[in-house]
Amino acid sequence: MNSLMQQLFMIRDFSDSLITLDALQIVGSSSQPQAAPAANGGTLTPSGKSMMELENSSNQRPDMSENMLYQLQMIFASLRYSHRQYYDPRGFCQSF
């Protein structure tokens, strides 16, 4: 895994593009649940929440510690722009 990440990091176009992605926007657009009609006439999401509850909770920032893309961005950005010679990848490992 380490050698793969090193190879990807050394491809300058790839690592620069990955760093500039907006992980929060990607998470928000891909995790929008599809609504389904409920028995009582309301609208429920697959998680069982009503659309009203989902809209109220969508104003909160999602937990990025579990986002693998965000964690990979953190590794690449730290290696690219930090003066440190290492990065602790625990956040990336815990995002699996």
pLDDT in tens, 11-69: 999 999 999 998 878 766 554 444 444 444 554 444 454 445 545 554 566 678 888 99
Q: What is the pTM of this model?
A: 0.62
Distance CA 92, CA 76 (A): 11
Helix (H, G, I), strand (E, B) or coil at 44: strand
Distance CA 50, CA 44 (A): 5
Residue 74: other Cβ atoms inside 10 A: 19
DSSP 65: G
pLDDT level of residue 76 (50, 70, 90 thresholds): very high
